[in-house]
Chain A
Amino acid sequence: MSEGKDKKNIRDVVTTGPPVAGLVSPSRENLIEPKTKAKDEKFGYDRCTHCGYCRHVCKVYNTSWSETDYAGGRNRIIKALDRKDIKFDKEEIIPSVYRCMLCGNCKVVCPVGIDTLEVFQSFRKAVVKKGAMPEKLKGLRKSILSNNNPFLEQHTDRFNWCDGSEDGKQAYERAIKDLAVINNEITAGDLEARKEKPHKVGYFVGCTSAYRNKELVNATSEVLGKLGIEFVVFPEERCCGSVLFRTGLEDEALDLVKHNYKMIRESGVSEVVFSCSGCFSTFTLEYTKYAGGNLGFDLSHLTQYALRIVKEKNLKIRYTKRSKDNPLLITYHDPCHLGRYCGVYEEPRELLQMIEGIKLFEMKHNRDMAWCCGAGGGVKALYGDVAGEIGRDRIAETRTCMVRIREDRLKEALETNAEVLVSSCVFCKNNLFQVANEDNSPIKVMDISQLLNDCEFYQ
């Protein structure tokens, strides 16, 4: 194709249009609430008009080209199953159900306001109840239920990461001390009787960071330390249950929810900080629902918490590896779980923009229209590593699809001329890091905690 000298940078073209409206979600402010949403309506799929606007934003469809892979196509299957127009086949249905990243971009653009995330999570739950479940998911479930993590790792090794961080180690020791006090002074449900004041801030680490990305936990611990926060971790922490919630195994996540909830309540912390966007969204959405809307403690993602502390303490931030005149050029990737799930778009940006020695550029698709990294919804976990075994069949192609999705995102980041792509989710970081590494890409991928750890906080 004749690219090259003729190609202009879109920012250099003086024009008012035609409006490339697909990049912008249509305005919703002046639209009426869907009148057809009945009070007893469990699922919204029935209202799908099959307009296909979800198809354009579906990264899975745009690489697989299968009509079952975007929201409208999947809604059609759900409707057909409902009407009994089509038989349920527990093997054949699996790709239609699980080849979705649950990124939520379809929900953003749906003109009739269907909560596609709710629909598809419920769909997964329903098919699991009918006995349809990918083999890989069975393994994940077993590991979570027996080892409290999806990686088949020993539960007792969960806090091995502390060896790499002095702040983390201290947080763990404080927590152990607190636990002893709790055991001596109170019984469950009698929190008020406690004599010693507990620590106020807890850090919920999450499985992936604890076992696979210790550098992120260490960085987060160090950052909290730099901010002067005396925090604790939760020595009895178990998997938050996110994988189970997203893959239709909600019922089996309830024990984990109960355990973690009770554990945090008994610790006495008033605020829990997360570096993992997946854990953060699970607490924000599912745990809050479980607790009837009020958890009794606050939830903050590291980006929100750090921003607040910096403002409260009137701190300044300086990136130590570059200067104001020679800033590090970065772009920020919105994780689906932090952005579309929890609506946290501005805090990470505000925090990054406060750092001296860093310059932020936006990708074309950002905030609620940001592309998914390709790791969500169990797509990576369920289909990510089976290419070699299955060869040329559809699951192998799904892996290719996932690779292409993350490649696309990286390409978009490169177009901003940034040196570093920063995210605030361990899954996004891993997935994008992997493709950058495989492609020898000039762009580096890092988590925001790592970037902050290279910063100096001062007054």
Chain B
Amino acid sequence: MNETITEEKKKGDLTQTLEKVKKRRRKRNFEEIVKGFISPYHVSTNRYELESASADLTSLPSYHYKFKKNYLASIIVRPADTESLSLLIKKCWELSLPVTIRSAGTSCFSSATPAKGGVIIDVRRINKVEHIDTENMTVKVGAGISWLNLIEKLSDYGLAPKAYPTSFKTSCVGGFIATPGKAGIGVPKYGTMADSIISLTIVLPNGKIEYISKDSNGEISLEDITGTYGIYGAISEVELSLTNLKTSLEIVGYGFSSLEDAINYYKALMSKVPDKPFFLSISERKFEQYSHINFPNQDWLVWAVFYDDPEETFRSVSVSDRIAQNFKGARVDESYLKEKWRDISDAEVAIGRTSRNIIFQEYWISNERLLPFYESYLKRASKYKFPIATYTISGEEGWSRVKIFGLSDITRPIEFFTVKAFLHDLSMEAFKQGDSLYTIGIVNTFYLLKYKREFVENRKVLKIKLDPKDLFNSYRIIKARMKLWRISLLFTTAKLLYKISLKK
């Protein structure tokens, strides 16, 4: 009996070893083939480079993206154009290699993290400004260009993108299309990222290059690509409609002691001001307090940026000032607002000065349900002793992205996981009231499976057609890496332990 077991074990070990050898050989062959058409420097198996590239740019501790060791890619490749990207993806398809597309990696929630190892395709080198049409105000660019580089380039022509993320200093054009791109700078005035896209070039999971415009009638549409985390292919080039640089920028800001007044003012700025704000935000006093020495006294700050010609901005500012009086708003010092605008990219990162690990969740809430959601947030937050803060930015018509932070330290695991539990409870509540999360990535997919079943099933149809083996940006949208019941159990335990620790 024992001998049979030993024999079987030996056989099993041998099969495993052979598999490993095959895998290693396959990887080596792939590397050699790819080096034939992409500069060898941009084909790397250096373990340190893989470690760095196999993660989002996030403040969350590593366990968050290290899915049972499958997070680590075996190879990273950086093609420089659509053709080599296509050849590369075709080769991965032939060898059935898992692929993760990466650009700036700033979306968080493991949006750019491998979930099955395999190949990371970094598209940052596809970053050329191909064509600027000043007459029609359009630009064609490589998807890997950073927003700031594009903004700088366009400003030489007196042009600017219509919508871009607050992380514009470091994020990329392609990434903002693949992740929601529904809230950010310019969005309240000009619409979402999707609204700016005239056409794009995508490389499908089989390596086929597809050109898609608003009028395309093919199997894949622009709508399929925006906000679907690259599950249908890699975006390589984008044509965007632009706006011209404006001549006047004015900032209006009011402090409120009542949440209801603050939200009503925020909503009024979107609906009652003739020229919609270029940027609009609400923030809690604590959000300002955790990073600033001097900050407004009131509990809630609502501020808007108007960016247009002087007559327009003057009118908008006058109307905004008038409306603020209806809600008992107290004017905020202009220098503080200017600082907020200048540091718009840094604002939420600067609260990292208060904690070692900023934990956060981004909620996508209808403006109609913003007040009850915030009330629930406040009620829940009052139960905990760790620092919590929030701010909101206005997104596409009628929607807002609410970002809630818990400031903790992974070296205090009970508190750390309780912060996550607190954010999880709010996520459940958001979905239950018909709202959603802003960024899904890999980490938040299980919520979609539970609460947005129809949306998931619809996405699955095209996914199966284009990528039947599910090798391309796996575990986004249609499949979850984690299970809701396990997460709920973990967080319930964490909350319990937290309560006990408080009593001690």
Measuring CB to CB, which residues of chain A are less than 8 angstroms from any residue of chain B?
1-3, 6-10, 13-24, 26-27, 30-36, 46-47, 49-53, 55-56, 64-68, 72-74, 76-77, 79-80, 83, 85-87, 89, 92-93, 95-96, 111-113, 392-394, 396-397
Contact = CB atoms under 8 A, between A and B. Distances in A.
A52 B62 CA distance: 16
Contacts of B78: 65
Contacts of A16: 246-249, 307
The 9 A-B residue pairs with the shortest CB-CB distance, nearest first, are A397-B41, A49-B59, A67-B52, A52-B170, A15-B245, A16-B249, A111-B349, A52-B57, A49-B352
Contacts of A35: 353-355
Contacts of B46: 68, 92, 95-96
A6 B155 CA distance: 12
Interface in B337-355: 339, 341-346, 349-350, 352-355
Name the residue among B39, B48, B160, B246 with the largest chain A CB count within 10 angstroms.
Answer: B48
Contacts of B245: 13, 15, 17-18
Interface string B355-374: 11010000000000000000
B104 interface: yes
Contacts of A8: 156-158
A50 to B, nearest CB: 5
A439 B100 CA distance: 39
A385 B169 CA distance: 33
B48 A52 contact: no
Given A66-B44, A92-B48, A397-B41, A50 B342 contact: no
A13 B99 CA distance: 44
Given A52-B105, A394-B41, A31 B248 contact: no
A198 B248 CA distance: 63
B130 interface: yes
Residue from the set A74, A80, A87, A112 with the largest chain B CB neighbour count within 10 Å? A112
Given A13-B245, A16-B247, A393-B41, A50 B129 contact: no
Nearest to A397: B41
A21 B344 contact: yes
Contact of A1 (B122, B130, B355, B356): B130
Contacts of B59: 49-51
Nearest to A13: B158
A26 B249 contact: no
Contacts of B247: 14-16
B449 interface: no
B502 interface: no
Contacts of B76: 67
B160 A18 contact: yes
A89 B339 CA distance: 45
A6 B247 CA distance: 19
10 contacts: A1-B129, A15-B245, A22-B152, A26-B343, A30-B339, A36-B356, A52-B57, A52-B104, A52-B167, A392-B41
Contacts of A397: 39, 41
B434 to A, nearest CB: 32
Given A36-B353, A68-B49, A89-B47, A2 B249 contact: no
Contacts of A10: 155-156
B132 interface: yes
A340 B453 CA distance: 54
B62 A79 contact: yes
B125 interface: yes
Interface string B112-145: 0000000000101100111111100000000000
A13 B66 CA distance: 48
Given A18-B160, A36-B355, A49-B349, 17 more contacts: A1-B132, A13-B245, A15-B246, A17-B245, A22-B152, A24-B342, A26-B346, A27-B342, A31-B350, A34-B353, A47-B352, A50-B55, A51-B59, A52-B171, A53-B170, A64-B41, A392-B41
Contacts of B290: 32
Contacts of B186: 18
Interface string B250-264: 000000000000000
A66 B62 contact: no
Given A1-B132, A112-B352, A20 B57 contact: no
Contacts of A19: 249, 341-342
Place the interface of chain B in its size category: 35 or more
A388 to B, nearest CB: 16
B42 interface: yes
Contacts, number: 206
Given A6-B157, A93-B48, A17 B307 contact: yes
B291 A32 contact: yes
B108 to A, nearest CB: 10
B5 interface: no
B86 interface: no
Interface string B147-189: 0100110011110100000011111000000000000011000
A20 to B, nearest CB: 6
B398 interface: no
A13 B40 CA distance: 42
> Main SS of chain A's interface residues?
loop
A55 B102 CA distance: 15
Contact of B57 (A50, A65, A394): A50
Nearest to B55: A76
Nearest to B130: A1
B49 A50 contact: no
B133 A2 contact: yes
Contacts of A34: 352-353
A33 B245 CA distance: 36
A394 B341 CA distance: 40
Contacts of B483: none
Contacts of B40: 392-394
B146 interface: yes
B482 to A, nearest CB: 20
Among A18, A50, A85, A87: residue with most chain B CB under 10 A: A18
A64 B46 CA distance: 14
Given A18-B307, A19-B341, A65-B124, A111 B47 contact: no
Contacts of B41: 64, 392-394, 396-397
Given A85-B62, A392-B39, A392-B41, A73 B52 contact: yes
Given A51-B59, A86-B51, A65 B122 contact: yes
A34 B351 CA distance: 9
Interface in B19-76: 39-42, 44, 46-49, 51-53, 55-59, 62, 66, 76
B357 to A, nearest CB: 8
> Which of A24, A111, A394 has the most C-beta atoms of chain B within 10 angstroms of its own C-beta?
A111
B290 to A, nearest CB: 8
Nearest to B155: A10
Contact of A83 (B39, B62, B339, B345): B62
Contacts of B248: 16
B150 to A, nearest CB: 11
A68 B346 CA distance: 22
Given A47-B356, A392-B40, A17 B249 contact: yes
B48 A56 contact: no
A280 B341 CA distance: 38
Q: B125, B133, B355: which has the most chain A beta carbons within 10 Å?
A: B355
A8 B343 CA distance: 27
A394 B246 CA distance: 44
Given A47-B356, A397-B41, A20 B152 contact: yes
A22 B293 contact: no
Contact of A51 (B44, B57, B128, B339): B57
B353 A113 contact: yes
Contacts of A111: 346, 349-350, 352-353
B458 interface: no
A368 B484 CA distance: 48
A18 B48 CA distance: 37
Given A17-B307, A20-B155, A51-B59, A2 B47 contact: no
Nearest to B313: A16
Given A14-B247, A56-B148, A112 B48 contact: no
